[in-house]
Amino acid sequence: MNAVARIAVVTGAGSGIGRSVAVALAGAGWSVVAAGRRAEALEETASLAGGDVLCVPADVTSPADVTTLFAAVREHHGRLDLLFNNAGTSGPSVPFENLTYEAWRTVVDVNLTGAFLCAQAAFRAMKEQSPQGGRIINNGSVSAHVPRPNSAPYTSTKHAMTGLTKSLSLDGRAYSIACGQIDIGNAATEMTQRMQTGILQANGDVMVEPVMDAADVARTVLHMAELPPAANVQFATVMATAMPYIGRG
């Protein structure tokens, strides 16, 4: 293991995949800055991680909160090596014609604008620090490839996340900033509970879908995070083996 402290920001760290990734990074010796809207949930993540975890309550849709978050990183650690851009929301599963502007805007604000704000703050920090560089890992989804029924806001933002990942990969080359994306399918979290009770399929049926442990996702993020600067996993897909994704459905 590298003796030099490695600093990671994990957004949406109060539950689910974010919590699992924060725990995995801390267990591998990273200093983790756990960000999320709920202070108590972040403290629970920190207690589970048992390593060097700084909790910073922040709403990624707020430019002021994001500025405060990365100022805390600079104050406590002086540099940033990794951003796991994870915070997200699924939005309501309703027919497209019944989707409200407010529901659309909420998903776009969290999943896309929040990811942009955090990525931009991380990019600036990584460009300005010495030694220069770092890594950004965006949480995409298998919805960045194919949609579920009644998921226009979520699917749209995850397709947009792919564009953000590619742009950051290109724009970051000159500054040794790598950017990759992990597309996740059916990790067992609060967001995916309905998959274990029955979820609408493309043919109109409702069926239970297999899920996987979020720790399986965290191991992949850890692998991506610990690659040397000259190597990058551009895109990775980690999914429950038997979920109805590959095939005709």
Q: Which residues are catalytic?
A: 154
Residue 238 host element (H or E): strand 235-239
| DSSP states along 166-181 | HHHHHHHGGGTEEEEE
Q: Tell me the C-alpha distance between 234 and 230, whole Å.
A: 12
Of the candidates 99, 200, 202, which has an alpha carbon nearest to the alpha carbon of residue 146? 202
Torsion of CA 108, 80, 54, 41, to 10 degrees: 20
Strands (E), 19-157: 31-36, 53-57, 82-85, 134-139
Q: Tell me the C-alpha distance between 77 and 8, whole Å.
A: 10
Q: Tell me the C-alpha distance between 13 and 230, whole Å.
A: 28
